[in-house]
Chain A
Amino acid sequence: MRNVPGLETVYLDYKEKGVDFFYVYKSLAHPEKSGFVQPVTLEERLSHIEAAKRQLGTEIPWLADSMTNQLKHAFGDRNNSEFVISPEGKVIIARSWSSPSQLRSDLVELVGKSETTTAISDLELKISTAIPQKPEKVATGVIPRVERPSGAIALISKSIPSSDLREAPRSSKETDSPSHPLYAKLRVEATPTTFSAGSTGTLYLGFHLDPIYPVHWNNLAAPLTFTIALPSGVTLSKASGTADIPENTPADSDPREFLLDFEIGEEVDLNEPLNLTVNYFACDDDDQWCKAVTQVYEIFLKTDRDAGRVQAGGKRTGNDRGKGRGQAPQGGSPQMPSIAEMMERMDQDGNGIVSKQEARGPFQMHFDRLDTNEDGGLDETELKTMQERRQQMRRR
Protein backbone atom coordinates (compact mmCIF):
# COMPACT_ATOMS: atom_id res chain seq x y z
CA MET A 1 0.00 0.00 0.00
CA ARG A 2 1.80 3.01 -1.27
CA ASN A 3 -0.36 5.86 -0.02
CA VAL A 4 -0.55 5.02 3.66
CA PRO A 5 1.38 8.05 5.01
CA GLY A 6 -0.78 10.45 3.01
CA LEU A 7 -3.97 8.70 4.06
CA GLU A 8 -2.91 8.79 7.69
CA THR A 9 -2.53 12.56 7.50
CA VAL A 10 -6.03 12.94 6.06
CA TYR A 11 -7.34 10.64 8.77
CA LEU A 12 -5.74 12.65 11.56
CA ASP A 13 -7.24 15.86 10.20
CA TYR A 14 -10.72 14.57 9.43
CA LYS A 15 -11.52 12.07 12.17
CA GLU A 16 -12.14 15.12 14.37
CA LYS A 17 -14.76 16.24 11.88
CA GLY A 18 -16.65 13.00 12.29
CA VAL A 19 -15.39 11.16 9.23
CA ASP A 20 -14.74 7.45 9.68
CA PHE A 21 -11.85 5.77 7.91
CA PHE A 22 -11.19 2.09 7.28
CA TYR A 23 -8.61 0.11 5.39
CA VAL A 24 -10.05 -3.08 3.98
CA TYR A 25 -7.56 -5.93 3.91
CA LYS A 26 -8.22 -7.83 0.72
CA SER A 27 -6.66 -10.86 -0.94
CA LEU A 28 -3.01 -10.34 -1.82
CA ALA A 29 -2.37 -8.44 -5.04
CA HIS A 30 1.11 -9.86 -5.49
CA PRO A 31 1.54 -13.08 -3.55
CA GLU A 32 5.07 -14.25 -2.76
CA LYS A 33 6.22 -10.65 -2.42
CA SER A 34 8.26 -10.60 0.79
CA GLY A 35 7.30 -14.25 1.05
CA PHE A 36 3.64 -13.62 1.86
CA VAL A 37 1.14 -16.10 0.49
CA GLN A 38 -2.62 -15.93 0.26
CA PRO A 39 -4.33 -16.57 3.59
CA VAL A 40 -6.88 -19.36 3.51
CA THR A 41 -8.70 -18.61 6.74
CA LEU A 42 -10.12 -15.49 8.31
CA GLU A 43 -7.74 -15.95 11.23
CA GLU A 44 -4.81 -15.84 8.80
CA ARG A 45 -6.19 -12.74 7.10
CA LEU A 46 -6.43 -11.12 10.55
CA SER A 47 -2.80 -12.11 11.15
CA HIS A 48 -1.90 -10.32 7.94
CA ILE A 49 -3.63 -7.23 9.28
CA GLU A 50 -1.50 -7.41 12.41
CA ALA A 51 1.59 -7.70 10.22
CA ALA A 52 0.43 -4.79 8.04
CA LYS A 53 -0.08 -2.61 11.09
CA ARG A 54 3.47 -3.37 12.20
CA GLN A 55 4.95 -2.83 8.75
CA LEU A 56 3.02 0.32 7.91
CA GLY A 57 2.52 1.84 11.33
CA THR A 58 -1.12 2.62 10.58
CA GLU A 59 -3.61 4.23 12.92
CA ILE A 60 -6.61 3.97 10.60
CA PRO A 61 -8.55 0.88 11.72
CA TRP A 62 -8.57 -2.17 9.51
CA LEU A 63 -11.36 -4.40 8.33
CA ALA A 64 -10.83 -7.84 6.84
CA ASP A 65 -12.64 -8.79 3.69
CA SER A 66 -14.56 -12.04 3.95
CA MET A 67 -12.85 -15.18 2.73
CA THR A 68 -15.24 -15.20 -0.21
CA ASN A 69 -13.89 -11.73 -1.04
CA GLN A 70 -17.32 -10.13 -0.86
CA LEU A 71 -16.08 -6.57 -0.54
CA LYS A 72 -13.41 -6.89 -3.21
CA HIS A 73 -15.98 -8.14 -5.69
CA ALA A 74 -18.67 -5.66 -4.72
CA PHE A 75 -16.31 -2.69 -4.92
CA GLY A 76 -14.81 -3.56 -8.29
CA ASP A 77 -11.79 -5.83 -7.74
CA ARG A 78 -9.12 -3.13 -7.58
CA ASN A 79 -5.97 -3.41 -5.53
CA ASN A 80 -5.82 0.02 -3.95
CA SER A 81 -9.17 1.64 -4.60
CA GLU A 82 -10.75 4.34 -2.46
CA PHE A 83 -14.35 5.18 -1.72
CA VAL A 84 -16.32 7.77 0.18
CA ILE A 85 -19.71 6.71 1.47
CA SER A 86 -22.33 9.31 2.35
CA PRO A 87 -24.27 9.27 5.64
CA GLU A 88 -27.21 7.98 3.59
CA GLY A 89 -25.23 4.90 2.54
CA LYS A 90 -24.46 5.92 -1.01
CA VAL A 91 -21.04 5.54 -2.64
CA ILE A 92 -20.49 9.12 -3.68
CA ILE A 93 -16.80 8.90 -4.62
CA ALA A 94 -15.15 5.86 -6.17
CA ARG A 95 -11.53 6.03 -7.18
CA SER A 96 -9.71 3.07 -8.68
CA TRP A 97 -6.42 4.11 -7.08
CA SER A 98 -6.19 5.83 -3.72
CA SER A 99 -5.12 9.45 -3.82
CA PRO A 100 -4.74 11.16 -0.44
CA SER A 101 -4.53 14.62 -2.00
CA GLN A 102 -7.72 14.14 -3.98
CA LEU A 103 -9.40 12.61 -0.95
CA ARG A 104 -8.50 15.66 1.11
CA SER A 105 -10.04 17.89 -1.56
CA ASP A 106 -13.17 15.73 -1.57
CA LEU A 107 -13.52 16.03 2.19
CA VAL A 108 -13.05 19.80 2.09
CA GLU A 109 -16.06 19.93 -0.22
CA LEU A 110 -18.10 17.48 1.84
CA VAL A 111 -17.43 18.51 5.44
CA GLY A 112 -15.32 21.64 5.17
CA LYS A 113 -11.70 22.45 5.71
CA SER A 114 -10.04 20.69 8.60
CA GLU A 115 -8.72 22.71 11.51
CA THR A 116 -5.31 21.14 11.11
CA THR A 117 -3.33 20.11 8.06
CA THR A 118 -1.00 17.32 8.99
CA ALA A 119 2.00 16.72 6.77
CA ILE A 120 3.65 13.37 6.21
CA SER A 121 6.73 14.74 7.93
CA ASP A 122 4.59 15.34 11.02
CA LEU A 123 3.74 11.66 11.30
CA GLU A 124 5.50 9.39 13.69
CA LEU A 125 4.64 6.10 12.08
CA LYS A 126 5.79 3.32 14.34
CA ILE A 127 7.06 1.02 11.66
CA SER A 128 8.61 -2.34 12.43
CA THR A 129 9.14 -5.66 10.71
CA ALA A 130 5.96 -7.33 9.54
CA ILE A 131 7.24 -10.81 10.25
CA PRO A 132 10.10 -11.76 12.57
CA GLN A 133 13.24 -12.85 10.79
CA LYS A 134 13.82 -16.56 10.46
CA PRO A 135 16.59 -17.88 12.70
CA GLU A 136 19.98 -18.21 11.07
CA LYS A 137 19.75 -21.98 11.01
CA VAL A 138 16.88 -21.78 8.51
CA ALA A 139 18.49 -21.32 5.12
CA THR A 140 16.95 -19.48 2.19
CA GLY A 141 17.90 -19.39 -1.46
CA VAL A 142 19.27 -22.92 -1.40
CA ILE A 143 16.79 -24.39 -3.87
CA PRO A 144 16.71 -22.67 -7.29
CA ARG A 145 13.32 -21.30 -8.23
CA VAL A 146 11.36 -22.93 -11.00
CA GLU A 147 10.78 -20.75 -14.01
CA ARG A 148 7.07 -20.52 -14.50
CA PRO A 149 5.61 -20.41 -17.99
CA SER A 150 5.02 -16.91 -19.20
CA GLY A 151 1.42 -15.80 -19.08
CA ALA A 152 0.36 -18.48 -16.63
CA ILE A 153 -2.72 -17.75 -14.58
CA ALA A 154 -3.63 -18.95 -11.13
CA LEU A 155 -6.15 -21.74 -10.80
CA ILE A 156 -8.68 -22.27 -8.04
CA SER A 157 -7.41 -24.62 -5.38
CA LYS A 158 -9.23 -25.38 -2.16
CA SER A 159 -7.77 -27.03 0.88
CA ILE A 160 -9.95 -29.77 2.24
CA PRO A 161 -9.61 -31.73 5.43
CA SER A 162 -7.78 -35.00 4.97
CA SER A 163 -9.44 -38.09 6.40
CA ASP A 164 -7.91 -37.73 9.84
CA LEU A 165 -8.63 -34.00 9.90
CA ARG A 166 -12.33 -34.52 9.30
CA GLU A 167 -12.70 -35.60 12.90
CA ALA A 168 -11.32 -32.35 14.21
CA PRO A 169 -13.70 -29.59 15.28
CA ARG A 170 -14.27 -27.01 12.58
CA SER A 171 -14.02 -23.29 13.02
CA SER A 172 -17.26 -21.49 13.71
CA LYS A 173 -16.27 -18.70 11.37
CA GLU A 174 -16.80 -18.72 7.63
CA THR A 175 -13.60 -20.54 6.90
CA ASP A 176 -12.44 -23.90 5.75
CA SER A 177 -10.06 -24.24 8.64
CA PRO A 178 -8.26 -27.54 8.93
CA SER A 179 -7.40 -28.69 12.44
CA HIS A 180 -3.87 -27.40 12.07
CA PRO A 181 -2.70 -24.51 9.94
CA LEU A 182 -1.65 -24.92 6.37
CA TYR A 183 2.00 -24.26 7.09
CA ALA A 184 2.73 -24.76 3.41
CA LYS A 185 0.26 -23.30 0.98
CA LEU A 186 -0.27 -24.50 -2.53
CA ARG A 187 -0.30 -22.14 -5.48
CA VAL A 188 -1.35 -23.57 -8.81
CA GLU A 189 -0.84 -21.82 -12.13
CA ALA A 190 -1.34 -23.01 -15.66
CA THR A 191 -0.87 -22.03 -19.23
CA PRO A 192 -2.69 -21.77 -21.58
CA THR A 193 -5.34 -19.85 -19.76
CA THR A 194 -8.36 -21.57 -21.27
CA PHE A 195 -9.22 -25.18 -20.87
CA SER A 196 -11.10 -27.21 -23.43
CA ALA A 197 -11.12 -30.64 -24.95
CA GLY A 198 -7.83 -31.42 -26.62
CA SER A 199 -5.84 -28.59 -25.05
CA THR A 200 -2.39 -29.16 -23.64
CA GLY A 201 -0.28 -27.02 -21.38
CA THR A 202 1.88 -26.67 -18.32
CA LEU A 203 0.85 -26.80 -14.71
CA TYR A 204 2.88 -25.09 -11.98
CA LEU A 205 2.62 -26.37 -8.42
CA GLY A 206 4.28 -24.34 -5.71
CA PHE A 207 4.27 -25.24 -2.02
CA HIS A 208 5.19 -22.09 -0.14
CA LEU A 209 5.75 -21.95 3.60
CA ASP A 210 3.52 -19.27 5.04
CA PRO A 211 5.73 -16.70 6.85
CA ILE A 212 3.06 -15.96 9.43
CA TYR A 213 3.92 -19.35 10.93
CA PRO A 214 7.42 -19.79 12.43
CA VAL A 215 7.95 -23.07 10.63
CA HIS A 216 10.61 -24.53 8.33
CA TRP A 217 11.13 -27.63 6.24
CA ASN A 218 12.80 -30.46 8.08
CA ASN A 219 15.41 -31.73 5.61
CA LEU A 220 16.58 -34.44 8.00
CA ALA A 221 13.33 -36.25 7.34
CA ALA A 222 11.76 -37.41 4.08
CA PRO A 223 11.28 -34.68 1.47
CA LEU A 224 7.96 -33.24 0.44
CA THR A 225 5.98 -35.51 -1.82
CA PHE A 226 2.71 -35.07 -3.66
CA THR A 227 0.30 -37.27 -5.52
CA ILE A 228 -2.57 -36.24 -7.76
CA ALA A 229 -5.70 -38.23 -8.45
CA LEU A 230 -6.96 -37.18 -11.86
CA PRO A 231 -10.50 -36.87 -13.14
CA SER A 232 -11.39 -38.89 -16.18
CA GLY A 233 -10.02 -37.35 -19.38
CA VAL A 234 -7.13 -35.41 -17.83
CA THR A 235 -3.57 -36.66 -18.06
CA LEU A 236 -0.38 -35.34 -16.49
CA SER A 237 3.27 -35.94 -17.37
CA LYS A 238 3.59 -37.22 -13.84
CA ALA A 239 0.95 -37.59 -11.18
CA SER A 240 3.35 -37.59 -8.28
CA GLY A 241 6.57 -35.91 -7.34
CA THR A 242 9.28 -35.58 -4.73
CA ALA A 243 11.02 -32.34 -3.86
CA ASP A 244 14.78 -31.99 -3.88
CA ILE A 245 16.55 -31.74 -0.55
CA PRO A 246 19.32 -29.16 -0.50
CA GLU A 247 22.72 -30.58 0.38
CA ASN A 248 24.12 -29.95 3.83
CA THR A 249 21.07 -27.93 4.77
CA PRO A 250 19.07 -29.42 7.61
CA ALA A 251 16.49 -26.63 7.55
CA ASP A 252 15.28 -24.17 4.95
CA SER A 253 12.18 -22.25 3.96
CA ASP A 254 12.42 -22.19 0.16
CA PRO A 255 9.33 -23.08 -1.85
CA ARG A 256 9.03 -26.58 -3.31
CA GLU A 257 8.00 -26.19 -6.92
CA PHE A 258 7.11 -28.45 -9.82
CA LEU A 259 6.18 -28.09 -13.48
CA LEU A 260 3.94 -30.72 -15.05
CA ASP A 261 2.63 -31.09 -18.58
CA PHE A 262 -1.08 -31.72 -18.87
CA GLU A 263 -3.46 -32.80 -21.59
CA ILE A 264 -7.22 -32.59 -21.60
CA GLY A 265 -9.06 -35.35 -23.48
CA GLU A 266 -12.12 -35.05 -25.66
CA GLU A 267 -14.55 -36.06 -22.96
CA VAL A 268 -13.84 -34.35 -19.71
CA ASP A 269 -15.92 -32.65 -17.05
CA LEU A 270 -14.07 -29.45 -16.19
CA ASN A 271 -16.05 -29.21 -12.96
CA GLU A 272 -14.27 -32.31 -11.72
CA PRO A 273 -11.27 -31.35 -9.60
CA LEU A 274 -7.80 -32.82 -9.51
CA ASN A 275 -7.28 -34.15 -5.99
CA LEU A 276 -3.81 -33.43 -4.65
CA THR A 277 -2.33 -34.82 -1.47
CA VAL A 278 0.93 -33.43 -0.16
CA ASN A 279 3.07 -34.80 2.66
CA TYR A 280 5.98 -33.05 4.32
CA PHE A 281 7.82 -32.72 7.58
CA ALA A 282 7.80 -29.36 9.31
CA CYS A 283 9.51 -28.04 12.42
CA ASP A 284 8.82 -24.90 14.33
CA ASP A 285 11.61 -22.35 14.43
CA ASP A 286 11.97 -22.64 18.22
CA ASP A 287 12.69 -26.37 17.99
CA GLN A 288 9.68 -27.21 20.10
CA TRP A 289 8.21 -29.68 17.64
CA CYS A 290 8.65 -31.43 14.33
CA LYS A 291 5.83 -33.32 12.71
CA ALA A 292 4.58 -34.98 9.60
CA VAL A 293 1.90 -32.95 7.86
CA THR A 294 -0.62 -34.08 5.28
CA GLN A 295 -2.70 -31.63 3.31
CA VAL A 296 -5.32 -32.32 0.69
CA TYR A 297 -6.40 -29.96 -2.05
CA GLU A 298 -8.92 -29.86 -4.83
CA ILE A 299 -7.59 -28.14 -7.95
CA PHE A 300 -10.06 -26.85 -10.51
CA LEU A 301 -9.17 -26.02 -14.10
CA LYS A 302 -10.68 -22.59 -13.64
CA THR A 303 -9.14 -19.16 -13.22
CA ASP A 304 -8.93 -17.83 -9.68
CA ARG A 305 -9.70 -14.13 -10.00
CA ASP A 306 -8.67 -13.49 -6.40
CA ALA A 307 -5.29 -15.20 -6.48
CA GLY A 308 -3.29 -12.11 -7.44
CA ARG A 309 -0.33 -11.94 -9.76
CA VAL A 310 3.15 -13.03 -8.80
CA GLN A 311 5.77 -10.43 -9.58
CA ALA A 312 9.50 -10.88 -10.02
CA GLY A 313 10.92 -13.40 -7.61
CA GLY A 314 8.45 -16.06 -8.62
CA LYS A 315 10.48 -16.50 -11.74
CA ARG A 316 8.83 -16.54 -15.13
CA THR A 317 10.10 -16.98 -18.59
CA GLY A 318 8.71 -16.64 -22.06
CA ASN A 319 10.49 -19.82 -23.04
CA ASP A 320 9.36 -22.16 -20.35
CA ARG A 321 10.68 -25.47 -21.57
CA GLY A 322 14.14 -26.89 -21.55
CA LYS A 323 15.71 -24.53 -19.11
CA GLY A 324 15.47 -26.49 -15.94
CA ARG A 325 15.80 -25.07 -12.51
CA GLY A 326 17.88 -22.31 -11.22
CA GLN A 327 18.70 -20.43 -14.37
CA ALA A 328 18.19 -16.73 -14.48
CA PRO A 329 15.24 -15.49 -16.46
CA GLN A 330 16.09 -14.57 -19.99
CA GLY A 331 14.89 -11.85 -22.25
CA GLY A 332 15.17 -8.09 -22.26
CA SER A 333 18.20 -6.02 -22.94
CA PRO A 334 21.36 -7.30 -21.28
CA GLN A 335 22.49 -3.73 -20.78
CA MET A 336 19.36 -2.41 -19.19
CA PRO A 337 17.93 -3.92 -16.02
CA SER A 338 14.23 -4.61 -16.06
CA ILE A 339 11.88 -2.74 -13.77
CA ALA A 340 11.64 -5.85 -11.65
CA GLU A 341 15.41 -6.08 -11.39
CA MET A 342 15.70 -2.43 -10.43
CA MET A 343 12.98 -2.91 -7.86
CA GLU A 344 14.65 -6.02 -6.48
CA ARG A 345 17.98 -4.24 -6.17
CA MET A 346 16.65 -1.23 -4.34
CA ASP A 347 13.42 -2.22 -2.60
CA GLN A 348 15.01 -3.64 0.50
CA ASP A 349 11.86 -4.08 2.56
CA GLY A 350 9.97 -5.58 -0.36
CA ASN A 351 6.97 -3.31 -0.10
CA GLY A 352 6.98 -2.51 -3.80
CA ILE A 353 8.10 1.06 -3.23
CA VAL A 354 11.65 2.39 -3.34
CA SER A 355 12.00 4.88 -0.52
CA LYS A 356 14.52 7.69 -0.56
CA GLN A 357 16.64 5.74 1.87
CA GLU A 358 16.56 2.69 -0.39
CA ALA A 359 17.18 4.57 -3.65
CA ARG A 360 20.68 4.42 -5.05
CA GLY A 361 22.81 6.57 -7.31
CA PRO A 362 20.87 8.84 -9.64
CA PHE A 363 17.58 7.55 -8.27
CA GLN A 364 18.50 8.96 -4.90
CA MET A 365 20.03 12.10 -6.34
CA HIS A 366 16.91 12.93 -8.36
CA PHE A 367 14.46 11.27 -6.05
CA ASP A 368 12.20 14.24 -5.45
CA ARG A 369 11.86 14.91 -9.17
CA LEU A 370 11.13 11.26 -9.97
CA ASP A 371 8.61 10.98 -7.15
CA THR A 372 5.94 12.65 -9.21
CA ASN A 373 3.04 11.93 -6.89
CA GLU A 374 5.05 13.08 -3.89
CA ASP A 375 4.18 10.06 -1.82
CA GLY A 376 7.73 9.56 -0.61
CA GLY A 377 8.46 6.52 -2.76
CA LEU A 378 9.17 5.40 -6.30
CA ASP A 379 6.79 2.75 -7.58
CA GLU A 380 7.02 0.56 -10.65
CA THR A 381 5.17 3.11 -12.75
CA GLU A 382 7.61 5.84 -11.87
CA LEU A 383 10.60 3.58 -12.52
CA LYS A 384 9.03 2.47 -15.80
CA THR A 385 8.47 6.03 -16.92
CA MET A 386 12.12 6.76 -16.27
CA GLN A 387 13.25 3.65 -18.10
CA GLU A 388 11.06 4.42 -21.13
CA ARG A 389 12.55 7.85 -21.28
CA ARG A 390 16.04 6.36 -21.21
CA GLN A 391 15.16 3.94 -23.96
CA GLN A 392 13.83 6.75 -26.13
CA MET A 393 17.03 8.70 -25.60
CA ARG A 394 19.15 5.70 -26.54
CA ARG A 395 17.32 5.27 -29.80
CA ARG A 396 18.02 8.83 -30.83
Chain B
Amino acid sequence: MIAKLFFASALSLGLTLMPAFSQRGGKGSGSPLPLQGKPLPEVIAYDESGAEFPLLQKTRDRYTVIVFGCLT
Protein backbone atom coordinates (compact mmCIF):
# COMPACT_ATOMS: atom_id res chain seq x y z
CA MET B 1 0.00 0.00 0.00
CA ILE B 2 2.74 2.42 0.99
CA ALA B 3 4.68 1.52 -2.11
CA LYS B 4 1.63 2.29 -4.21
CA LEU B 5 1.21 5.63 -2.51
CA PHE B 6 4.86 6.44 -3.13
CA PHE B 7 4.52 5.51 -6.73
CA ALA B 8 1.36 7.50 -7.30
CA SER B 9 2.75 10.52 -5.51
CA ALA B 10 6.06 10.40 -7.27
CA LEU B 11 4.31 10.16 -10.59
CA SER B 12 2.37 13.28 -9.75
CA LEU B 13 5.56 15.20 -9.17
CA GLY B 14 5.52 16.51 -12.65
CA LEU B 15 7.53 19.18 -14.26
CA THR B 16 5.28 21.70 -12.56
CA LEU B 17 7.38 21.24 -9.46
CA MET B 18 10.65 21.93 -11.13
CA PRO B 19 10.67 25.70 -10.70
CA ALA B 20 10.25 25.30 -6.94
CA PHE B 21 13.02 22.72 -6.85
CA SER B 22 15.42 24.76 -8.86
CA GLN B 23 15.05 27.66 -6.47
CA ARG B 24 16.85 25.52 -3.96
CA GLY B 25 19.98 26.45 -5.77
CA GLY B 26 19.81 29.51 -3.59
CA LYS B 27 20.61 27.38 -0.60
CA GLY B 28 24.19 28.44 -0.92
CA SER B 29 23.38 32.06 -0.35
CA GLY B 30 22.04 31.49 3.17
CA SER B 31 22.53 34.01 5.93
CA PRO B 32 25.66 36.15 5.88
CA LEU B 33 28.81 34.48 7.08
CA PRO B 34 31.08 36.43 9.41
CA LEU B 35 34.13 36.48 7.16
CA GLN B 36 32.39 37.61 3.99
CA GLY B 37 34.49 40.40 2.52
CA LYS B 38 36.94 40.39 5.42
CA PRO B 39 40.60 39.48 5.73
CA LEU B 40 41.34 35.89 6.59
CA PRO B 41 42.12 35.64 10.31
CA GLU B 42 45.28 34.06 11.67
CA VAL B 43 44.04 30.55 12.25
CA ILE B 44 45.97 27.32 12.41
CA ALA B 45 44.83 24.14 10.74
CA TYR B 46 46.75 20.87 10.37
CA ASP B 47 47.69 19.10 7.19
CA GLU B 48 47.13 15.40 6.65
CA SER B 49 50.44 14.57 8.33
CA GLY B 50 49.48 16.54 11.43
CA ALA B 51 51.86 19.44 10.73
CA GLU B 52 50.67 22.94 11.51
CA PHE B 53 49.17 24.74 8.54
CA PRO B 54 48.87 28.50 9.15
CA LEU B 55 46.07 29.26 6.76
CA LEU B 56 46.81 32.91 6.05
CA GLN B 57 50.46 32.25 5.36
CA LYS B 58 49.85 29.17 3.22
CA THR B 59 47.17 30.69 1.02
CA ARG B 60 49.00 33.89 0.16
CA ASP B 61 49.51 34.90 -3.47
CA ARG B 62 46.94 32.59 -5.03
CA TYR B 63 43.24 31.98 -5.08
CA THR B 64 42.26 29.34 -2.57
CA VAL B 65 39.02 27.41 -2.21
CA ILE B 66 38.11 26.06 1.21
CA VAL B 67 35.19 23.71 1.79
CA PHE B 68 34.14 22.47 5.22
CA GLY B 69 32.95 18.94 5.74
CA CYS B 70 33.13 15.77 7.75
CA LEU B 71 32.21 12.09 7.55
CA THR B 72 28.69 12.59 8.86
Q: Which of B34-72 contact A (CB under 8 A)?
A: 34-41, 43-48, 50, 53, 55-56, 59-72
Interface centre among A85, A98, A336 (most CB of B within 10 A): A85
Closest to A33 in B: B72
Q: Are A80 and B63 in contact (CB under 8 A)?
A: no
Q: Are B40 and A91 in contact (CB under 8 A)?
A: yes
**A residues within 8 A CB of B41?**
74
A325 at interface (Cβ–Cβ under 8 A)? no
Q: Which of A61-80 contact B (CB under 8 A)?
A: 61-66, 70-72, 74-76, 78-80
A104 to chain B, nearest CB (A): 11
**A residues within 8 A CB of B45?**
24, 63-66, 70-71
Q: Are B39 and A91 in contact (CB under 8 A)?
A: yes
Interface string of A369-396 (1 = CB under 8 A from B): 1101100000001100110011001000
Chain B contact residue count (CB 8 A cutoff) = 58
Q: Which of A335-388 contact B (CB under 8 A)?
A: 335-337, 352, 361-363, 365-366, 369-370, 372-373, 381-382, 385-386
Given A30-B72, A85-B63, A173-B50; A78-B33 close (CB under 8 Å): yes
Q: Are B13 and A389 in contact (CB under 8 A)?
A: yes
**A residues within 8 A CB of B34?**
74-76
Q: Are A87 and B62 in contact (CB under 8 A)?
A: yes
Q: Are B70 and A81 in contact (CB under 8 A)?
A: no
Of the listed stretches A48-56, A134-142, A177-185, A274-282, chain B binds: A48-56
Q: Are B10 and A97 in contact (CB under 8 A)?
A: no
How far is it, in angstroms, between the C-alpha of A370 and the C-alpha of B67 when the chains are bound?
25
**B residues within 8 A CB of A22?**
64-67
A3 to chain B, nearest CB (A): 8
Q: How large is the interface on A (under 10, 10 to 19, 20 to 34, 35 or more residues)?
A: 35 or more
A1 at interface (Cβ–Cβ under 8 A)? yes
**B residues within 8 A CB of A393?**
9, 12
Q: Are A94 and B35 in contact (CB under 8 A)?
A: yes
Closest to A31 in B: B72
**A residues within 8 A CB of B39?**
89-91
The dominant DSSP class at the B interface is: mixed
A386 to chain B, nearest CB (A): 6
Contact among A75, A87, A390 with B63 in the assembled complex (CB-CB below 8 Å): A87
A144 to chain B, nearest CB (A): 22
Contact among A26, A84, A381 with B69 in the assembled complex (CB-CB below 8 Å): A26
Contact among A60, A64, A363 with B10 in the assembled complex (CB-CB below 8 Å): A363
**B residues within 8 A CB of A66?**
43-46
Q: Are A361 and B7 in contact (CB under 8 A)?
A: yes
Q: Are B10 and A84 in contact (CB under 8 A)?
A: no
Given A21-B64, A96-B31, A389-B17; A1-B69 close (CB under 8 Å): yes
Contact among B1, B22, B37, B56 with A372 in the assembled complex (CB-CB below 8 Å): B22
**B residues within 8 A CB of A25?**
69-70
**B residues within 8 A CB of A335?**
1-2, 5
How far is it, in angstroms, between the C-alpha of A208 and the C-alpha of B47 when the chains are bound?
27
**A residues within 8 A CB of B62?**
18-20, 87
Closest to B45 in A: A63
Q: Which of A25-46 contact B (CB under 8 A)?
A: 25-34, 36, 42-43, 45-46
A90-B39, A91-B38, A363-B6 given; name 15 further pairs at CB < 8 Å: A22-B67, A34-B71, A52-B70, A60-B67, A66-B44, A83-B35, A85-B59, A97-B27, A99-B27, A101-B25, A102-B25, A337-B2, A382-B21, A385-B21, A389-B12
Closest 10 CB pairs of A and B: A96-B30, A362-B10, A372-B21, A1-B69, A33-B72, A390-B9, A76-B33, A63-B45, A94-B33, A94-B36
- 5 A-B Cβ contacts within 8 A? A25-B70, A27-B70, A52-B69, A76-B33, A76-B34
